[in-house]
Amino acid sequence: MKISKIFLYDEPAVSQIQLDRLAVFLNKTFSIPVEIRDSILKFSKKDTAEKIAACRIFNLRKPYERHNPNTDEIIFEEANFENTSKTENIIMYDGFEIQKVLTELIPENERKLESFHIFFTNKLTCTYDYNDYRYHGRALIGANPSIVSTTGIIEAPAKPREYYLELMSSYAQGINVESIKQKYKGTYLEYNDTRLSRIIEGYLLQAIFYLEIGDAFCDKMECRLFNAHWQKDLMYSQLENRKLCEKHLLILNRLNEHNNK
């Protein structure tokens, strides 16, 4: 394998990530050492807060333009470094810009190909897509370092179409939307969902396959590398099926053979 050690950086606001069990999972799957670390932003200062605030996006239809943050936005980011409470209002950030800011925080002697750094965040990371000229929420920002956005996992793959339709018609008719949410409960991930950690395993596999073979995704839904656009498919690949397809299992075995030599 190209990588020889994995570093996982915590997002203290989301206890359902369960870094300990993810470290065991990765170590079992790839038989390379995994180190768990605190959030890389934990002891960060105002200048980092300013850089992160500058990654905010306001117009989904336009590619990234550096935002000039105001004092409140900088204070908000700074408070987030210490504060572990989750904000309900979802702020969108350019994922590649945040990636640049976080990369600068990695100790220089660890910024190398063999050391794979994975940051967890509850910020919604987004990337601009030139196919439809708009930003989309992303669960995973690949490359090294990678970012796994827990809010992206919950918000980016779509909920069932019927759910939206019922929600819209009940809004129009003034029906209590809670009953609709209750009806579809379990068919999509929610905040504080205990299944989050197992879902994250799939995104970690995608991040590592991307680094090792240059391709993160599989077109088979019966594979943990499946790039799910619907919550239902995400749950099928990661919770129900929980396996790699035959082809990717072979690749995994080859990567591991290489390791043990």
Nearer to Zn ion, 74 or 245 (CB): 245
Residue 229 in contact with residue 157, Cβ under 8 Å?
A: yes
Closest among 203, 215, 212 to 30, alpha carbons compared: 212
Nearer to Zn ion, 137 or 142 (CB): 142
CA distance 69 to 213: 38
CA 79 to chain centre: 22
Residue 157 in contact with residue 184, Cβ under 8 Å?
A: no
Q: What's the min distance (Å) between Cβ of 185 and Zn ion?
A: 30
| Site for Zn ion, residues 174 to 193, rule: CB under 5 A | none
Residue 234 in contact with residue 199, Cβ under 8 Å?
A: yes
**At 28, is the secondary structure helix, strand, or coil?**
helix
Q: By rule CB under 5 A, what count of residues binds Zn ion?
A: 5
Q: What's the min distance (Å) between Cβ of 26 and Zn ion?
A: 18
Q: What's the min distance (Å) between Cβ of 234 and Zn ion?
A: 15
Nearer to Zn ion, 32 or 218 (CB): 218
Nearer to Zn ion, 90 or 250 (CB): 250
Stretch that binds Zn ion, among 30-38, 100-108, 212-220, 234-242 (CB under 5 A): 212-220
| Site for Zn ion, residues 215 to 244, rule: CB under 5 A | 218, 223, 225
Residue 120 in contact with residue 17, Cβ under 8 Å?
A: yes
Q: β-strands 5-9, 34-37: how paired?
A: parallel
Residue matched to tokens 């992303």 = 138
Nearer to Zn ion, 204 or 245 (CB): 245
Nearer to Zn ion, 113 or 249 (CB): 249
Among 14, 98, 156, 245, binds Zn ion (CB under 5 A): 245
Q: What's the min distance (Å) between Cβ of 227 and Zn ion?
A: 11
Alpha carbon separation from 18 to 231, 238, 240 (Å, rounded): 21, 16, 20
Is 248 one of the binding residues for Zn ion (CB under 5 A)?
Answer: yes
CA distance 27 to 259: 12
Residues that bind Zn ion (CB under 5 A): 218, 223, 225, 245, 248
